[in-house]
Structure 1
């Protein structure tokens, strides 16, 4: 069994592999490198075989998205630690060392996220993860370094290694034994918020999710599905509701989900006012899909759910009404984050 396997999920991403795979090979000493291919129709697999012969390839039989794509590929990879890395990630020197050290010394830590900065503007955090994620009472995710569309400059303000609620799927480290125990990502999610769901389930089982600032990567973001894509809106809104039904504490479950759906309706009206009609319909589609799946997801609930899952009641209220724009303002200078 390998100590750590770096696994890059790919679908028709030959240009990304050409650009970013060299940094992974250069700086991942001691790790086994895999490309997990989701039945690409370009020449991705042949390109890797010809240009990076030390990289191992796992070929899935279909385009399974992020969730099932990784679930299927990891069945064929034996390592103590999985590093699940987007194909548009540039890694840096010694990026694996602090992660491995944390896993070796903190046995209850199951998931770790590095510092994720913007490849296009390297002084700033990147949208998809920043310095680690949290959610509010109504399931809205946000990050240290990024609240909705406001992204902070990295000035060392989040260099404290702390416990998180969720780690970004853009660069996601997890113990194999925990991934297997939790039965991997929820495949019905396809993509988006499956990593939040997995972290929530890990927390419900007593594991710890952490952030390590000594490991730094740069992420392009939106290379596979752009931020303004209605499909992304659909998946985010639907998956968030499904995740809440599965993981919220029983007490207040109905009220919280109902209020969240009201907030979704307001978001749909806002999209309509902005002329983004397709996004409004994407939210409606997400809700109808949720209705059809909600009972199935309620039955997936485990006996125990952590009670204090949120850090603030409504990040939407604090951001849009109170006009608080950065994490430290919203979170009261990190007072409640566990060290």
Structure 2
């Protein structure tokens, strides 16, 4: 058994592997550490490049593209390690990034998952959208980060360098105990991609486990390498999966009020797209709600199991306010200005 397995999921990303894998290999050394690339049925030359140019990397070949969530489930079924890192293929790591995370996890057995600080690869002085310095959600299921609220991404002035509990750790660089990953069922493969790590972290939180951000470990993330922002497919997956996540995990007393408000807020979101003449994204929001209604019955057993296994229903890192109200109406654009 390895102590740490760094697992990169790849799909037709030969160029990204050449650009970013060298830093992962260089700064992820050790007898008890392995770097793996799980290929999600690529049709480019990814596997050939890995075999010829990166012989030290363990290659896990999947027979087709299972998406982010199920692809990782398939890959981690072939991994034997105490800890695993789910690392995006467009992440450049830095010296000491892995040792810092491992040392913390070894000293804090009550913590089951963590993330490093994510900075932008293009603008290295700013936090990166997908995870920044730790993730949270509001009462209605909208995710935000310490360092990023909606499209406002702060400069990193070391204002968020303390280790703190988080609601979710980014899937771009998620460090987790493999036994706990398996215990709670891993990522939900039905999500395919987007929101799957927040759903996983909700299950961990509700079962009494702790997750933290460790900003002393730093990585640089390109972001948006698979689906660009405002892509209708991404919009569809984000809205649909967010609703599925809420349905799976919300306490009984919150389910109806949250879902009623989300119906209104999603309608408003679609109208904003219409006002911009962006009819494809407006349609994606409507289709996401339609598919959620179709799939909801299928997720009833998951909801029942999650509620039965819940030991912490009022998770502190799930804020009781609306981040839309705080940010768009009250003008609180930075995490440090939020109430509480």
Please classify the TM superposition score into its range, dividing by the shorter chain length.
over 0.9
Residue in structure 2 matched with residue 278 of structure 1 by the alignment: 280
Residue in structure 2 matching 1:76, options 55, 78, 83: 78
The number of equivalent residue pairs is 332
Q: Does 1:103 align with 2:105?
A: yes
1:23-62 mapped onto 2 (5 Å cutoff): 23-30=23-30, 31-62=33-64
Residue in structure 1 matching 2:289, options 287, 290, 293: 287
Q: Deviations over 1:75-132 (max 9, x none)?
A: 1111110011000000000001111111111112111010000000000000001001
Q: Deviations over 1:222-276 (max 9, x none)?
A: 0111112110000000001100111011113112112112101100000110111
User: Structure 2 CA distance, aligned partners of 1:297 and 1:191?
Assistant: 17
User: Structure 2 CA distance, aligned partners of 1:146 and 1:117?
Assistant: 11
1:1-339 mapped onto 2 (5 Å cutoff): 1-30=1-30, 31-301=33-303, 302=306, 303-305=308-310, 306-309=312-315, 310-330=318-338, 332=339
Give the C-alpha shift of residue 307 in structure 1: 2.9
User: Structure 2 CA distance, aligned partners of 1:19 and 1:38?
Assistant: 19
User: Structure 1 CA distance, aligned partners of 2:104 and 2:129?
Assistant: 25
Q: Deviations over 1:8-30 (max 9, x none)?
A: 00000000000000000111011
SS in 2 for 1:252: helix
SS in 1 for 2:160: coil
What is the RMSD of the two structures over their aligned residues, measured on CA atoms? 1.0
User: Structure 2 CA distance, aligned partners of 1:218 and 1:322?
Assistant: 31
User: Structure 2 CA distance, aligned partners of 1:169 and 1:183?
Assistant: 16
User: Structure 2 CA distance, aligned partners of 1:100 and 1:272?
Assistant: 47
SS in 1 for 2:181: helix
Contact 2:206/2:313 (CA < 8 Å) preserved in 1? no
Give the C-alpha shift of residue 324 in structure 1: 1.2
Runs of 5+ unmatched residues, structure 1: none
Give the C-alpha shift of residue 283 in structure 1: 0.5
User: Structure 2 CA distance, aligned partners of 1:39 and 1:81?
Assistant: 25
Of the structure 1 ranges 247-256 and 235-244, higher mean CA displacement relative to structure 2 is found in: 247-256
Give the C-alpha shift of residue 165 in structure 1: 0.2
SS in 1 for 2:164: coil
SS in 2 for 1:300: helix
Give the C-alpha shift of residue 304 in structure 1: 4.4
Runs of 5+ unmatched residues, structure 2: none
SS in 2 for 1:251: helix
SS in 2 for 1:297: helix
Q: TM-score, normalised by structure 1?
A: 0.96
